[in-house]
Structure 1
Amino acid sequence: MPFYSKDWRSPGEEWVKTQEGWEKKKVLECTAQRFPAINYNNSDDSQTKSWSQDNEEADKNNDSVSRVPPHCHITIKCTREIAGFNGLSEAVRRLDFSSAVRDVRRFNYICALLELLLGGQRLTHLPGAAQKLLLSMLEQLADQVAESKQNLNALRALLVALQSLREAERGSCWGRPLGSRALWRHHDHAIQRIHSIAQAICIRGPGPEVVPKLHDLPEECIREILLRIQDHRDLDAASSAWSVMASVCTEQRIWRELVAFHFSQQQIDGVLKGKDDGVDVDWKKVFHQLRKLYGLREDTQFAETLSLCRHCKCLFWRSLGHPCIADQCPEYRERLKEAGGPLPPHPVPPAAFLKFFSL
């Protein structure tokens, strides 16, 4: 005889009508931009109205009402006791990726995630709601780049991947893209808006009243700036932008400190084996050899990444925190003390984040 749990007669989830379709109320409660997106078409829904008014009052009184930080519970392994699956669109909403686009610390993380989805053609294998959500994120990213006039190269790389994906899907199934025509019509309009935003971006140099400019700085200051760059592609771009930067980028010190930043001494010694104490070493060549062998440090590519709590199996932004069982349950906290203390959260790079979902 099958066993039914206590909540099998539950009325189900509460849903709210938004501009992008119907969404779960508990998911919208985790997003910072939930209020402008909500579109109440049914004026007779008194519960929805009261919930909106309560949340608007809470936004006006942020000091007295604390908002739950964005977080998302993840099913790591399905067992007899725990069964379920992880939805990408729900996780994106719960972790509030829309507002993360406008955070300078999390911007590169969102760009890397979108690049993985567009580069591997994973976007076309997602449900329609997830596709619309990710294209909306890309449009918000384009708006952020247009406002800040920064990270234009990251936006262009995403647009190239998006255009190649769009052309590859043409004719994928009997001459038509997979999915409904209405969905791809929505995608085409979104892609056109993103391209129009990117084409309208115009970066102008500072006026003559702004002093000093970069070209007015002495060579010592330029060297100190380049020594703080951790991406070799930025060094190559800087060397092609100005002759003084090109001269500084040829110095061995720049590449030697870049090697020491990304790789351990044991890895460096393995490549330098047989050379006389590092004399006449081409550190740029050594850097690229080490990069091909070991790759670059992932923890340095992003100012902030998602973290996985090892106690409650919850994804969260480390700077924002999350409601953890280790903080809320005194009995669990006592057991952690007996076991040696709480475990630190595990960082989750974009590639590891996508492994939680069936893509």
Structure 2
Amino acid sequence: MPFLGQDWRSPGQSWVKTEEGWKKTTAEDKNNNVSVESFCKPEDEDLLLSLSYDDVAAKKRKKDLLNINNNNNDNSKVPYFYMEKWIYVHKGSTKERHGYCTLGEAFNRLDFCSAIKDTRRFNYVVKLLELIAKSQLPSLSGVAQKNFMNILERVVQKVLDDQQNVRPIKELLQTLYVSLCGLVQGMGKSVLVGNINIWVRRMENIIQWQQKLDSIQINRPVSTGMNLTDLPASLQLNVMQRLSDGRDLVSLGHVCPELGALAEDRLLWKSLCQYHFTDRQIRKRLMVSDKGHLEWKKMYFKLSRCYPHREQYSATLHFCTHCHILFWKETNHPCTANNPEGCTVSLSPQDFINLFKF
């Protein structure tokens, strides 16, 4: 690792500025009394001042461009998002690196804005937002809390445009609103960063988002091809078996009487129970009908209230145990291990939060 200054860890080398550029000098060259000031001419002072002023002005213009208004009627500033595909997670200070990586820093720096546009990562990000809204929101910094709301706004806008995944987002907004109601009451304890009026306005925005989601009317597309009801019953059941949420299965049964009859299939609900819950959990919640049959549908909803569902995501964040880098599955990171795949661990949303618990 090169050292650009005089330091007790330096191997006795330093950098000096010459007419040809920066050059490295050793301890022997220092005996020649070479000074940096000898290469600076008095007439160059105005040039150096002008260059430094231009740099400051350029940074100021860049900052102003990031803070432009969304439109003439909106005074909100355009949020800035990091676009990093991977980050280094350090949990302690060393001589080369000070501080440690927090949950808020990781949430800010990772590219979550592009993740919500990817269908494979969307459910993963939504679950992560839900877990943060439940318990981790006070632990975020002010910038991370603002970034959380900005990403949530983009998620809601995507759902409004695509008219998909409406129920998970409504549940996320309800969870966040309930959490904020309890946190705002404790503003005197500094549980949230920022003025209380800002958070009240954000809660009003959540209510407006909920109203927009409630008013969504999904229009049936005009199609001249084959519909689901045109398929044989065996194929319709095969399609229903791909649904991992029992509430989606109930909603599908309300489409027409034919699908409603298939949605009551006992084997369908049995496979759904066995997918999400263990045999021990199922045995504790057995429900038998008057005819002596197991009520798998009732057991599913009873088990759902007692135990969490099995989580499965198409794309997740991964953590390299060798180089301590957190990255998305589809992106590569600069790993120095001989077997990078053997050092990679898939992280669930809860594992992502647990990674930053010190």
Shorter-chain TM-score category? 0.5 to 0.7
Alpha-carbon offset, residue 85 of structure 1:
2.1
The answer as to 2:356 corresponding to 1:357 is yes
Distance 1:212 1:190, change over 3 A: farther
Q: Is the 8 A contact 1:307 1:348 kept in 2?
A: yes
The answer as to 2:252 corresponding to 1:238 is yes
Alpha-carbon offset, residue 160 of structure 1:
1.1
- Report the Cα distance in structure 2 between the residues aligned to 1:69 and 1:257, rounded to whole angstroms: 40
Aligned pairs for 1:166-177 within 5 A? 166-173=180-187
Task: Tell me which of 298, 301, 318 is aligned to 1:307.
Answer: 318
The answer as to 2:242 corresponding to 1:228 is yes
Residue equivalent to 1:325: 336
Gaps of 5+ in 2: 1-6, 11-52, 64-82, 287-291
Gaps of 5+ in 1: 7-41, 53-67, 274-278, 327-332
Q: Is the 8 A contact 1:69 1:322 kept in 2?
A: no
Q: Is the 8 A contact 1:135 1:187 kept in 2?
A: no
- Report the Cα distance in structure 2 between the residues aligned to 1:293 and 1:196, rounded to whole angstroms: 32
| Aligned-pair Cα RMSD in Å | 4.3
Residue equivalent to 2:211: 199
- Report the Cα distance in structure 2 between the residues aligned to 1:176 and 1:149, rounded to whole angstroms: 38
Residues 245-297 of structure 1 deviation map (CA, whole Å, 9 limit, x = unaligned): 33222212212333454467x76997799xxxxx9554446656877887543
The answer as to 2:99 corresponding to 1:88 is no
Q: Is the 8 A contact 2:142 2:194 kept in 1?
A: no
Alpha-carbon offset, residue 78 of structure 1:
7.2
Alpha-carbon offset, residue 345 of structure 1:
1.3
Distance 1:5 1:151, change over 3 A: farther
Distance 1:132 1:343, change over 3 A: same
Distance 1:128 1:151, change over 3 A: same
Alpha-carbon offset, residue 113 of structure 1:
1.0
The alignment covers a number of residue pairs equal to 286
Distance 1:260 1:321, change over 3 A: farther
- Aligned to 2:120, the other structure's residue is in SS state coil
The amino acid that maps onto 1:152 is V
The answer as to 2:126 corresponding to 1:111 is yes
Distance 1:179 1:319, change over 3 A: closer
Distance 1:312 1:155, change over 3 A: same
Q: Which structure has more RCO (C-alpha within 8 Å, separation ≥ 6)?
A: 1
Distance 1:5 1:114, change over 3 A: farther
The amino acid that maps onto 1:319 is E
Task: Tell me which of 286, 303, 310 is aligned to 1:297.
Answer: 310
Aligned pairs for 1:137-156 within 5 A? 137-156=151-170
Q: Is the 8 A contact 2:177 2:206 kept in 1?
A: no
- Report the Cα distance in structure 1 between the residues aligned to 2:272 and 2:94, rounded to whole angstroms: 45
- Report the Cα distance in structure 2 between the residues aligned to 1:306 and 1:95, rounded to whole angstroms: 10
Distance 1:171 1:218, change over 3 A: same
Q: Is the 8 A contact 1:255 1:284 kept in 2?
A: yes
Residue equivalent to 1:255: 269
Residue equivalent to 1:135: 149
Alpha-carbon offset, residue 153 of structure 1:
0.8
- Aligned to 2:119, the other structure's residue is in SS state coil
Distance 1:89 1:78, change over 3 A: same
TM-score by length of 1: 0.64
Alpha-carbon offset, residue 203 of structure 1:
2.9
Residues 292-347 of structure 1 deviation map (CA, whole Å, 9 limit, x = unaligned): 8875433x2x2111111121111111122222123xxxxxx3xx6xxxx8514111
Alpha-carbon offset, residue 135 of structure 1:
0.6
The amino acid that maps onto 2:346 is P
The amino acid that maps onto 1:162 is L
Task: Tell me which of 83, 102, 119 is aligned to 2:117.
Answer: 102
- Report the Cα distance in structure 1 between the residues aligned to 2:155 and 2:285, rounded to whole angstroms: 43
- Report the Cα distance in structure 1 between the residues aligned to 2:255 and 2:161, rounded to whole angstroms: 23
Q: Is the 8 A contact 1:71 1:314 kept in 2?
A: yes
Alpha-carbon offset, residue 190 of structure 1:
4.3
Q: Is the 8 A contact 1:304 1:318 kept in 2?
A: yes
What percentage of aligned pairs have identical amino acids?
27
Distance 1:83 1:240, change over 3 A: farther
- Report the Cα distance in structure 2 between the residues aligned to 1:241 and 1:51, rounded to whole angstroms: 53
